[in-house]
Structure 1
């Protein structure tokens, strides 16, 4: 016999009792009836998408979740819900209800009420008051036109969805009765044109969505009161002005999405106070300028999206302060100029998207434009009109794993251009423009060794006998150097000094064995001089033997001249010529221009003649002659017998 006074006996009895209860519950569950034509799954009764009049007259008392959506219901009889004391979730979306329905005496137990896609025109405090436990209310896709101060009773709402209505105004205090609980508020696709300052006094709100409205301007302190807000979406509003302090008060904001607007610049004024921001999405705007100190208050950014804007320049100051940035998207802009050091300071960057810009000269001529990005793993450069890749193009990218150069008409790839990227796992390259001469014979061998072959599609454009053939189908013996169709610089522009107000001429020449049309450009400090005075000429010459000897090659020599008139101090800089044809571009060395004033005396050693050093000279402004003088005996310029006349300037 068991004795209930013994602990072991008590434990055994408890186990038996629990098993009995579970068996009873299982038996009750097995005896649940599912009223036709509805379907049941656990505690869910699905009576959605029924024909008119087919909704059962009685709903089982065990129902916890009820789906009455897509039934074209215009009214609901509250007696249908009179015994549903366990009901907590009800879906009434996609019906024809014109008001929040009466759901009987147990409406106070409902936590989720879905009324999207009906014909409701207003939010009534009387209709919502019975829902004492309501946490999620979805009124999206109705005909609500405004939100009054008296719209909501005091409810424990956490999620309020009002997307795709006709709301054009928010009355002061309209969300006051929800301030202690509301965490998610969605007002997308409405007709809001202004957002009153401090309208959102919701200290617990974490996510706010205002996309696809008509807000053109955001004033300072508009969102003050949202101290817990973590994400704000304001896409597709036509936003053109964000005033200083527009987001002040959002001290816990992590994600700000402002894509598809009309913003024109990034400045610290409207970013003021976003000290915890981690993601900033500004894609598809009209941004053409990033102010030098723009990121002063956003130095915790991990992701920055500036794609599809009007950026044409990346200055040295463009990304200062973003040392924690992990992803940078600048694709689909107009970037043609990247300053030396533009990426300096992005020490944590792992992904850089520069696709569909105009940065061919950056890749072809700059000395390691990405060298500061020693943690970069992914680099996207597709569609940038890149025609040649050099050994210095990707210097410093030791950690790079993925490089995308597709959709560039690449004509030449210098030997070992990719070899320094020891961790490279994927190279994407497709071009049918390659100059398949002896300088390219390394490429198919290297690609095969690195197992990049599946992602590389490369064929020859020159010489004619190899045109159209894949580089992987060309034998090593067929890669020969019989001509040089790509321009080769033969005369470099020379460094010069000039007096203010005088004229300066830079000369640059290149030769090519191709009759492909040639284009000429001059750059100053890496920027193209579009309005410069440039004169170009060409003439034929024979290279090799004379008198028709075997081995002679007829080449065309091209000369381009840059004329600078009445130079100013602003004319100082480094000048470079770029000569291009169908087979690629050649870049000259950079010649420095220094401009001096007649009143300023300066003196230093210079190398005027290759075999002479430490020569001092004077300018004679009357005849612009340069007078070479022996090194002065004194310690400073113009001492003793080598003093320049008073009207001359030392240089």
Structure 2
């Protein structure tokens, strides 16, 4: 009984009163102090008075402003970016933006505009980007042309415009982007294109218009940065209409919901009369393809034949000697040799991604591409027990190789001996079978980035990462270490140049204190989504100024002795941990409030204990962990009782001693 009373008294003595201090959410979210605010989807019908006059970027979409006038934004004189998407704007009155001299970008997307005053845009002195997407516009005469001399991009997609002819007064000298996608433009005349001539190196987007006619000579002597005719039913019309023009990039791809156009060799004859550097023919179907099909592609440097149903390219193709980049993704090759790489001797970039059949790499199929710098063979169901020297023969200048998302690959020692210049190697989600207790990467002395995520690696192989002196970025996400434990002796220790290490989803439960001692210049460590407790933080004691992601682990409390390690880091993420918000963790809670500038995802960093505070933001919790008034009362009572008991004990002892003399 006496013991129970003592325990009760001690509990009362050290009891803590807990309270949560929650701040009222601001109506608008502040993204950058006094500069950038988001007021999206709040049902507002006016600009909140709480926004400071210094606001520069304002996202105000999905609100209600049927009419805007010269007083609507008059207070926000520093605006450079204003997004008014879907604000149900019908009327824009005179001098609406007269006070916004620095306005750079104005977004009016998806507003049912009925009227826009001629002087509506008179205020901004350097308006560069205008968005009138999905406004119901049917004529370019609707746009007030005054004060647009610095305009660089005009976006007019998804309207009812039938002609791209710009008004005579429309300033085009600095125009770089003109977007008319998904309108009702079916014919292009000489007069239309003539109105664009003052713009140099213009990117013109006519995707989704279904051009059926181009007046002969309309594009004669014109120069475009890019032209996009995506979704056009007849490529023959385009090639004929573009004769005697100069275009850096021409997009002629089609879409899933449009019947594939069967392209014949004769359709490309018009290319012989124009200058083009890059062409995309995505999702088209070749009626007949022969060595003569590409004879007008002489000056071409980039060619995209993605999803064009190709099973093989013909050998002996002429006219592609200058080709630098070739995209053959999402086709139906059985063997890599079926692309006949000898047709493209100058190729530096090759993409064969997402092949529709299992791709066999063959032997030396790319041996003629000695200038190749980048090779993407991801998502191709490639499987081989001996990768990759025979398959990548003669690719001595290769700098980037992507073999991610394939079937199991067997890697022997120096598996990439043919590619000593590699700087990036991506093997993510490809099961790797390392066939010896050695490193398959040991000759890659220039490798900087290595992605081995979800490769089911044997991390007990101490030599797995030998021979990578320049490695800066290593991704081991989803690989498991023996017993979830990274010991002091591990394959990472020799990577002295490593700066970024990703070990998320590795089922880790503990990291030895010296496990990362060899990694002295790391600045980014991702240990999220594991089972780590605070004891593993000691492994980072030698690192300073790093980004440290500890999200979604098993950290409940952090002892005071570990807080200096966190204090010396640049950014820390503790989201998703079962954090203890009681007095037993008071030192961490105080540290958390004092170091909020270092913490990431604070909105989702929540208490898990005690039940009263579960789900409350750690930053909103204030604990009073001193002795309470009740505690003081019980302390006094306890001391008095103790004194009385002591007096009686002394008397009893003296009486007993006297009786036994």
TM tier relative to shorter chain: 0.5 to 0.7
1:79-90 map, 5 Å = 80-82=215-217, 84-89=219-224
Residue from 348, 355, 373 that aligns with 1:230: 373
2:193 aligned with 1:193, yes or no?
no
Residue from 548, 551, 566 that aligns with 1:406: 551
Mapped partners of 1:252, 1:81: distance in 2: 45
1:229 to 1:128, Cα distance in 2 relative to 1, 3 A: farther
The structure with the largest alpha-carbon Rg is 1
1:131 to 1:451, Cα distance in 2 relative to 1, 3 A: same
Mapped partners of 1:369, 1:259: distance in 2: 28
Structure ranking higher in strand proportion: 1
1:147 to 1:215, Cα distance in 2 relative to 1, 3 A: farther
> Is the Cα contact below 8 Å between 1:355 and 1:382 reproduced in 2?
yes
2:353 aligned with 1:211, yes or no?
yes
Which runs of 5 or more structure 1 residues have no equivalent in the other structure?
1-34, 479-651
> Is the Cα contact below 8 Å between 2:500 and 2:524 reproduced in 1?
yes
Mapped partners of 1:129, 1:82: distance in 2: 14
Structure ranking higher in helix proportion: 2
- 1:56-114 superposed Cα distances (whole Å, 9 cap, x missing partner): 4866568667766434346x57xx22464313455433111265765279447666543
Paired position in structure 1 for 2:283: 141
Which secondary structure state, in structure 1, belongs to the residue aligned with residue 548 of structure 2? strand
Tell me how far 1:392 sits from its aligned partner: 3.8
Residue from 477, 481, 501 that aligns with 1:331: 477
Mapped partners of 2:336, 2:376: distance in 1: 14
1:288 to 1:70, Cα distance in 2 relative to 1, 3 A: same
* Aligned-residue CA RMSD (Å): 3.9
Mapped partners of 2:218, 2:533: distance in 1: 76
Tell me how far 1:119 sits from its aligned partner: 0.7
> Is the Cα contact below 8 Å between 1:121 and 1:145 reproduced in 2?
yes
Which secondary structure state, in structure 2, belongs to the residue aligned with residue 204 of structure 1? coil
1:477 to 1:467, Cα distance in 2 relative to 1, 3 A: farther
Which secondary structure state, in structure 2, belongs to the residue aligned with residue 185 of structure 1? strand
Paired position in structure 2 for 1:25: none
Residue from 165, 168, 193 that aligns with 2:311: 168
Tell me how far 1:422 sits from its aligned partner: 6.5
> Is the Cα contact below 8 Å between 2:303 and 2:327 reproduced in 1?
yes
Paired position in structure 1 for 2:540: 394
Mapped partners of 1:421, 1:322: distance in 2: 30
Paired position in structure 2 for 1:307: 453
> Is the Cα contact below 8 Å between 2:581 and 2:608 reproduced in 1?
yes
1:454 to 1:52, Cα distance in 2 relative to 1, 3 A: closer
1:105 to 1:258, Cα distance in 2 relative to 1, 3 A: closer
Mapped partners of 1:269, 1:147: distance in 2: 40
1:435-514 map, 5 Å = 440-451=585-596, 454-455=599-600, 457=605, 459=607, 461=609, 473-476=622-625
1:234-253 map, 5 Å = 234-241=377-384, 242-253=387-398
1:109 to 1:377, Cα distance in 2 relative to 1, 3 A: closer
Paired position in structure 1 for 2:442: 296
2:232 aligned with 1:95, yes or no?
yes
Mapped partners of 1:85, 1:57: distance in 2: 9
Tell me how far 1:263 sits from its aligned partner: 3.4
> Is the Cα contact below 8 Å between 1:93 and 1:116 reproduced in 2?
yes
Residue from 116, 119, 134 that aligns with 2:253: 116
Mapped partners of 1:347, 1:119: distance in 2: 55
> Is the Cα contact below 8 Å between 2:363 and 2:391 reproduced in 1?
yes
> Is the Cα contact below 8 Å between 2:527 and 2:549 reproduced in 1?
yes
Task: Give the TM-score taking structure 1 as reference length.
Answer: 0.58
Residue from 310, 313, 323 that aligns with 1:182: 323
Paired position in structure 1 for 2:429: 284
Mapped partners of 2:529, 2:556: distance in 1: 14
1:246-261 map, 5 Å = 246-261=391-406
Paired position in structure 2 for 1:358: 507
Tell me how far 1:275 sits from its aligned partner: 1.4
Residue from 372, 379, 384 that aligns with 2:518: 372
1:475 to 1:311, Cα distance in 2 relative to 1, 3 A: farther
Which runs of 5 or more structure 2 residues have no equivalent in the other structure?
1-160, 167-171, 255-259, 628-661
Which secondary structure state, in structure 1, belongs to the residue aligned with residue 275 of structure 2? coil
Instruction: Provide the aligned length of Structure 1 versus Structure 2.
Output: 435
Tell me how far 1:165 sits from its aligned partner: 1.1
Paired position in structure 2 for 1:383: 529
> Is the Cα contact below 8 Å between 1:136 and 1:158 reproduced in 2?
yes
| Larger RCO (CA under 8 A, 6+ residues apart) | 2
1:367 to 1:208, Cα distance in 2 relative to 1, 3 A: same
1:453 to 1:209, Cα distance in 2 relative to 1, 3 A: closer
Mapped partners of 2:237, 2:614: distance in 1: 73
Mapped partners of 1:345, 1:402: distance in 2: 21
2:301 aligned with 1:158, yes or no?
yes
